Amino acid sequence: MYLPAGVRNHSYAQDMAIFRTRTQWALLGLLLVSLFVLPMFLSNYWLSVCNIIAITIIAATGLNILTGYCGQLSIGHAGFIAVGGYTSAILAGQLGLPFLVSMLCGGIMAGLIGMLFGLPSLRVKGFYLAISTIAAQFIIMWVIRNWSGVTGGNIGLGVPNAEIFGYTFSTQSSKYYLILVITILVIFFAKNLTRTRPGRAFVAIRDNDLAAQVMGINLFRYKLLAFFIGCFFAGIAGSLLAHCYYGFLNPEFFDFKESILYVGMIIIGGLGTSIGPILGVILIRLLDNVLSLQIVPFLEANVTILSSGWASGLKPMIFGAVIILFLILEPRGLAHRWNVFKTSYRIWPFSY
Amino acid sequence: MADLLQFVITGLTVGMVYSLIAMGFVLIWKSSGVANLALGQLVLISSWITYAILVQIGLPVWLGIPLVIVIAFALGWLIERFLLRPLIAQPILSLIAVTLGLSYFLDGLITFIWPWSVDALPRLFPQTSVHIGPAVISQEYLWAAIISVLLFTALSLYFKYSRMGIAMRATADDQMAVQACGIPVTKIFSRSWMLACAMASIGGILMASIGGIGHGLIDTGMKSFSVVILGGLDSFLGAMIAGPIIGLAENLGGGYLTALTWPGVREVIPFIMIILVMMIKPYGLFGETRIERI
């Protein structure tokens, strides 16, 4: 851990602080203020882009706890997001529960389902676990597609707007504030979780689960806890996705490819860092946006030599290539680049 | 009764093709410890390549199919050389993620070249059906099953007796020791990828010639994961036996459970099998149980 020059710790409290210097506090304040005044300057369209970025950050933070910290690779994250989204939508829409309650229920439901499919993690790891989460994804989506009496099946399900104490979040900017507050809470929770006993237990399990067990870490408890927390965040993200982004739900939104993309996002950002998922999500979601709204239609209209529809293959190709290139060239992700930048900024003009 | 026999025969023969694709997976896992999650996409892209050669270019079958296999070799070599080799000695998570990235990339590439996404291959086998008791089976499935058994035998012999096969088994056992013996490990990795891609392409050709080309082939690849999990990741025999079991479960379940549950139960049975195997016997029927030391 590199400290800015001249920073010394005189107490444990100081040593544990996330933000150490006045500059850091000022920058944090500046960031928060600018995030809160952002809706004044953005059009509705860009606000909705910010919303999807923030929601994805919540889900990716969950996956990062599960995969980045605890080392349990999950390739079924979109399935768990779907569980949360559908649970919350059904509770709020058909049973009329308040939004906050149904969102929490969605999260808890996703967490429980995640724990269920995380059970194999007690006996297997690595590739075996990855396969069982793939199986989870397919089983969950099959149930959602076919249980049409409850989930609306392939046709989809209408979802009411979020409502807290009589206030309905119907405009883009009100949704933005709601999502922003939840996202900040989630990031704060995730950052602190990694500094607690469970967080350190997760890291120990990731590095070597047998050694961790020998040191007295209860694998059963902590692996399932990691699954619960990771999938709980997925569920919260799913609920927000349903109530504040799409407004209706369809199994198409939770494709297997989406799950792969989530893994890709945390790899691009940097596994096991708190800033990683944020950077990765922003990069991929912005790329997604620019590609599908600007570049693909442009190419589709102007390059007519190839068979029609070819350009829709461009996005998956670029995403796949980005994931592969990051793995080969910068496996520590954008977070590492960010740290390198910070360090070299601090010690400039010297090289070390 | 006639239904039952029909389900059993269809299940067994379709399962043989799953075995074939699964063996490609086992091959890579055995020699390099890499899990190839892009299996479905490799199956799909090789059936599209077959389409390009046989239909779009119009080469005859006897020239076209060997050409497809040569292209599959090249594809396997490229994948190993440019994606897997830079990642040697990286954690398993990166190795899994890189094949996921590859699957995403291939998905896009397929849409890029063949955007219409569904087509038919010319039939490679006679279509007259064969009657076994009261059951009817298309001859194509029987041919597919025979080819799969032949390849299994060839592969087993190759691994048992050929120099390269023995070297591959040795690499699976202990990479360091093999390197110390002067066997080029990287060459073995690239050979195994080439072979695996060829197996995936044969599986793709067989499936596509029977059922047409479409995204269903990716699901065939996905189902092969349940075959490798059930059979054990490092066992050809396991893959060969587990394939028909999965095929049977799928067809019997599809035949008898659809009325009880929802349609499409057939598609999800392999995945339920995966979860069950994980809970009961995680290393599969013939897989080696790993003993870990700290």
Per residue in A252-302, pLDDT tens? 888 888 899 999 999 999 888 888 899 999 999 999 888 888 888 787 777
At B292 the pLDDT is 67
Pairwise CB contact (< 8 Å): A323 & B97: yes
Cα gap B136→B134, rounded to integer Å: 7
Pairwise CB contact (< 8 Å): B268 & A120: no
Contacts of A230 (CB under 8 A, 6+ apart): A62, A63, A65, A66, A67, A70, A74, A80, A114
At A114 the pLDDT is 92
Cα gap A258→A37, rounded to integer Å: 31
pLDDT band at residue A184 under the 50/70/90 scheme: very high
Cα gap A56→A88, rounded to integer Å: 17
- Mean pLDDT, rounded, for A77-104: 89
Query: Would you say residue A186 has pLDDT above 90?
Result: yes
Per DSSP, helices labelled H in chain B are 2-32, 39-51, 61-79, 92-113, 139-161, 163-173, 175-180, 185-211, 216-231, 236-257, 265-280
Q: Report which of B66, B76, B240, B36 is spatially closest to residue B154, judged by C-alpha positions.
A: B240
Tell me the whole-structure pTM to 2 decimals: 0.91
pLDDT band at residue A119 under the 50/70/90 scheme: confident
Tell me the pairing of strands A163-164 and B129-132: unpaired
At A81 the pLDDT is 94
What residues in A contact B262, CB-CB < 8 Å? 142, 146-147
Residue of A nearest to B86 (CA): A328
Query: Would you say residue A304 has pLDDT above 80?
Result: no
At B67 the pLDDT is 92
Pairwise CB contact (< 8 Å): B278 & A136: no
Residue of B nearest to A213 (CA): B294
Mean pLDDT by groups of 10 residues along chain B of 294 residues: 80 86 87 86 91 86 89 93 86 87 91 82 77 78 87 88 87 83 88 91 86 82 88 86 90 80 80 87 78 66
At A82 the pLDDT is 93
At A129 the pLDDT is 86
Count of residues making up chain B: 294
Q: Which one of B92, B268, B292 has the shortest CB-CB distance to A127?
A: B92
Pairwise CB contact (< 8 Å): A127 & B35: yes
Closest CA of chain A from B124, distance in Å: 27
The one-letter amino acid code at B203 reads G
Q: How far separated are the first and last CA of chain B, in Å rounded?
A: 55
Taking the CA atoms of residue A299, residue A304, residue A306 and residue A310 in that order, the dihedral angle to the nearest 10 degrees is: 40
Q: Report which of A117, A105, A49 is spatially closest to residue A236, judged by C-alpha positions.
A: A105
Pairwise CB contact (< 8 Å): A123 & B274: no
Q: Which one of A131, A146, A320 has the shortest CB-CB distance to B229?
A: A131
Q: What are phi and psi of A114, to 5 degrees?
A: -60, -40
Question: Of A48-57, A89-98, B101-110, which range is least confident?
Answer: A89-98
Contacts of A58 (CB under 8 A, 6+ apart): A182, A183, A186, A233, A236, A237, A240
Reading the block at residue A307, the tokens are 């068979």
At B293 the pLDDT is 66
Strand partners, B131: B136
**A42-347 in CATH: which number?**
1.10.3470
What residues in B contact A67, CB-CB < 8 Å? 93
Cα gap A103→A243, rounded to integer Å: 9
Residue A89 buriedness (CB in 10 A; 0-12 / 13-18 / 19+): buried
Closest CA of chain B from A147, distance in Å: 8
What residues in B contact A139, CB-CB < 8 Å? 268, 271-272, 275
- Residue with the larger pLDDT of the pair B186 and A152: B186
At A54 the pLDDT is 93
- Establish whether the linkage from the previous residue to A349 is cis, with ω within 30° of 0: yes
Contacts of B117 (CB under 8 A, 6+ apart): B110, B111, B214, B215
Residue A308 buriedness (CB in 10 A; 0-12 / 13-18 / 19+): exposed
Q: What single-letter DSSP state applies at residue B86?
A: G
pLDDT band at residue A19 under the 50/70/90 scheme: confident
Closest CA of chain B from A65, distance in Å: 15
Count CB-CB contacts under 10 A for residue B126.
10
For A262-292, b/e burial (b = at least 16 CB within 10 A) is bbbbbbbbbbbbbbbbbbbbbbbbebbbebe
Can you give the three-state secondary structure of chain A, one letter per residue? CCCCCCCCCCCHHHHHCCCCCHHHHHHHHHHHHHHHHHHHCCCHHHHHHHHHHHHHHHHHHHHHHHHHHCCCCCCCHHHHHHHHHHHHHHHHHHCCCCHHHHHHHHHHHHHHHHHHHHHHHHCCCCHHHHHHHHHHHHHHHHHHHHCHHHHCCCCCEECCCCEECCEECCCHHHHHHHHHHHHHHHHHHHHHHCCCHHHHHHHHHHHCHHHHHHCCCCHHHHHHHHHHHHHHHHHHHHHHHHHHHHCEECHHHHCHHHHHHHHHHHHHHCCCCCCHHHHHHHHHHHHHHHHHHHHHHHHHHHCCCCCCCHHHHHHHHHHHHHHHHHHHHCCCHHHHHHHHHHHHHHHCCCCC
> What SS3 class is residue B136?
strand
At A1 the pLDDT is 53
For B100-120, b/e burial (b = at least 16 CB within 10 A) is bbbbbbbbbbbbbebeeeeee
What residues in A contact B35, CB-CB < 8 Å? 126-127, 130
Closest CA of chain A from B209, distance in Å: 23
Closest CA of chain B from A214, distance in Å: 10
